A and B are shown apart, each in its own frame.
Chain A
Amino acid sequence: MDIFAGLINGFSIALTGTNILFCFLGAVIGTAIGVLPGLGPAATIALLLPLTYVIGSPVTAIIMMAGIYYGAMYGGSTTSILLNLPGEAASVVTCIDGYQMARKGRAGAALGIAAIGSFIAGTVAVVGLTFFAPPLAEFALDFGPPEYFALTTLGLLLAVTLSGGSIIKGLIILFVGLLLAMVGLDPISGKIRFTFGSIVLQGGFDFVTLAMGVFGLGEILYNLESTLKTEIVTTKLGKVFPTLKDWADSKWAIFRGSVIGFFIGIIPGGAAVISSLASYAIEKKYSKHPEEFGHGAIQGVAGPESANNAASSSSFIPLLTLGIPGNAAIAMIFAALMIQGITPGPFLVAEHPDVFWGVIASMYIGNAMLLVLNLPMVGLWVQMLRVPYGILAPIIVLFTTIGVYSVQNQVFDIYSMLFFAALGYGMRKLNFDPAPLPLAFVLGPMVERSLRQSLLISGGDLTIFVTRPISGTLIAVFVLLIVGQTAFFIKRKMGGKKPPAT
């Protein structure tokens, strides 16, 4: 099936009544959680994972999950601009100029350009995804166990190094995630690992309980520590459609943001946060008036918001073509696909073209829906900020509890979710970034299987990882990354400066 035929097939799937409805639902939920600070797309998709058991069709389930993810990027800018409070980590940089624009009475223009930029970038990235993903999937068909081992370990390392937090802590979480994935029966030898006599643990931990515990409840518990008060929005929105001058000022920022976001989104661990920061830095560097940045420059809103949307769409490329999730939210979508019995990877386009093309086509539709949801209806989303956290928190707890119970109808899952909630809370208290945990958990079995299969194939010859061109290149990048990070760390220590974080 060529790209155009695939896309037409995708639209015929995405445009059915049910899929349009779930795409819309995803866009609405995504915008809502993007607006609400304290609940991210990874947590929300985690909370909704049990629903995928109920939604029979895998295409429909993934269309909704994807809608939540890129919808959150749209919604994240609203609180950044109006309250100087990022609804999403990817919108932190939007606070700088967005809030200044709002203080100058230009909140509407900032929200408008953020939505339009997001729409253009999201669409550009989906076009890129349409044409880039199929050849990459075809290329990945040649991958064997050594390539997969090199790719997954590199992906995990990139996720840790690019997350922006402490590398030591990131690596610790990575190993913990790998170990948690090993609990239960060893798929190759049949040995039981880390179960301590528990029969229910022989099947291993369920990803839903881990995701809901660490991201859903862990976040709730951490937020409960602070008396999060609902801020009342007093800023007047004004006109949400940008003027011709606004458009002229920001069109190149949107274009650059789209391109930067698209390429950064493909790299595991890159995604939305780094792309928005990179876009802001580039806009400031190449602006004729860099002094305006920080005082309400519209390019400071247009660029980063475009970049984070492009990144959120292009981060589907490694998932759909290689089966490698690049960030926590995409790991949740990976799990949702697995729940539906679909293994993401190079065979997806051939074995499940309905899922592959249906999801891509739905992104075009979802982006158009989000533009409508975010431009004329922005006032409605602002009203949502009035919902007290005291009501939201117990509802989320109820939702997660019955949700996790519904997966296997056993209370043990609730207890294991609470264990992960305590773990997630502890991680946040000690400034650990929880993002590598689900990545390591979902990639753990693939890492182990490909390592052991590679050693079996080669008869214990470790050079198998470096003598094959693809795995050799990936391993070289892996080594360069470790050497580079270590040299950087030692240089900082020798220079007497404190490390970025421990």
Chain B
Amino acid sequence: MKKYERITAIITSLGGVWIMVYAWRTLKLGSIHIPDAGLLPFLCGVGLAILGIVWLLVLQQTKGEDKGVEEKRIWYRPVISLILMVIYGWAMESVGYITSTLLFVIAWQKVIEREKWLKTMIISLLGTFAMYALFVYLLKVPIPPEFFAR
């Protein structure tokens, strides 16, 4: 855990420095009389750079407290879900809302939840129907059309 925190602290500091340079050179700071678009970003960059260093120093001083992750957690489930969601976003425009939603829920139930086919199909069909009824019929939200109906 501490290792990841150290990496994040370094990224925070470096990010802060980059923002300072970007604000100073590209956005321009202006003067104290007429501040320009880069003033507040520059100040935020300074803040991040300093906080990253302070965090790193605090981490250096707190020895022997790396207990690691407190409980057994399954890291791949959120990663796979995020990938599925990205694909879903892409598919929504490519194949249409209904098809992509149905396929997404099937994939979620099979890959993430490892459900049986019958339960998967019931949840997928009901979920897709409920969302369609709520957003399209009730709330009149325009959705991407199906690929076969274009």
Contact assessment for A217 and B85 in the assembled complex, using a CB-CB cutoff below 8 Å: yes
Check: A191 CB closer than 8 A to any chain B CB. Answer: yes
Chain A's closest residue to B115 (CB) is: A390
Check: B139 CB closer than 8 A to any chain A CB. Answer: yes
Q: How far is the CA of A469 from the CA of B34 in the complex (A)?
A: 24
Contact assessment for B112 and A418 in the assembled complex, using a CB-CB cutoff below 8 Å: no
Check: A430 CB closer than 8 A to any chain B CB. Answer: yes
Contact assessment for B41 and A182 in the assembled complex, using a CB-CB cutoff below 8 Å: yes
Q: Which of B37, B44, B48 contacts A186 (CB 8 A)?
A: B37
Check: B75 CB closer than 8 A to any chain A CB. Answer: yes
Chain B residues closer than 8 Å to A51, beta-carbon distance: 139
Which B residues, 95 to 146, have Cβ-Cβ distances below 8 Å to chain A?
97, 101, 104-105, 108-109, 112-113, 115, 123, 127-128, 130-131, 135, 139-144
Which A residues, 223 to 254, have Cβ-Cβ distances below 8 Å to chain B?
224-227
Contact assessment for B58 and A221 in the assembled complex, using a CB-CB cutoff below 8 Å: no
Chain B's closest residue to A498 (CB) is: B62
Q: How far is the CA of A189 from the CA of B77 in the complex (A)?
A: 45
Check: A414 CB closer than 8 A to any chain B CB. Answer: yes
Chain A residues closer than 8 Å to B37, beta-carbon distance: 186, 188-189, 191, 193
> From residue A413, how far is it (CB to closest CB) to chain B in Å?
9
Chain A residues closer than 8 Å to B104, beta-carbon distance: 394, 397-398
Check: B74 CB closer than 8 A to any chain A CB. Answer: yes
Contact assessment for A502 and B33 in the assembled complex, using a CB-CB cutoff below 8 Å: no
Instruction: Given A188-B37, A402-B131, verify A224-B19 contact (CB < 8 Å).
Output: no
Which A residues, 178 to 201, have Cβ-Cβ distances below 8 Å to chain B?
178-179, 182, 186, 188-189, 191, 193-194
Contact assessment for A168 and B55 in the assembled complex, using a CB-CB cutoff below 8 Å: yes
Q: Which of B31, B77, B88 contacts A224 (CB 8 A)?
A: B77
Q: How far is the CA of A448 from the CA of B35 in the complex (A)?
A: 10
Contact assessment for B55 and A172 in the assembled complex, using a CB-CB cutoff below 8 Å: yes
Check: B148 CB closer than 8 A to any chain A CB. Answer: no
Contact assessment for A406 and B51 in the assembled complex, using a CB-CB cutoff below 8 Å: no
Q: How far is the CA of A172 from the CA of B12 in the complex (A)?
A: 8
Contact assessment for A411 and B93 in the assembled complex, using a CB-CB cutoff below 8 Å: yes
Interface residue total, chain A, C-beta cutoff 8 A? 61
Check: A452 CB closer than 8 A to any chain B CB. Answer: yes
Instruction: Given A394-B105, A406-B135, verify A225-B74 contact (CB < 8 Å).
Output: yes
> From residue A498, how far is it (CB to closest CB) to chain B in Å?
6
Interface bits A56-82 vs B (CB < 8 Å: 1, else 0): 000000000000000000000000000
Check: B68 CB closer than 8 A to any chain A CB. Answer: no
Give 26 CB contacts A-B under 8 Å: A54-B139, A168-B51, A171-B51, A176-B48, A191-B36, A193-B27, A193-B37, A193-B41, A194-B22, A225-B73, A226-B71, A397-B85, A399-B131, A401-B85, A401-B92, A406-B142, A414-B92, A415-B89, A418-B89, A430-B5, A451-B40, A455-B32, A456-B35, A459-B33, A460-B31, A460-B32
Interface set of B (CB-CB < 8 Å, partner A): 4-5, 8, 12, 16, 19, 22, 27, 31-37, 39-41, 44, 47-48, 51-52, 54-55, 58-59, 61-62, 65, 71, 73-75, 77-78, 81-82, 85-86, 88-90, 92-93, 97, 101, 104-105, 108-109, 112-113, 115, 123, 127-128, 130-131, 135, 139-144
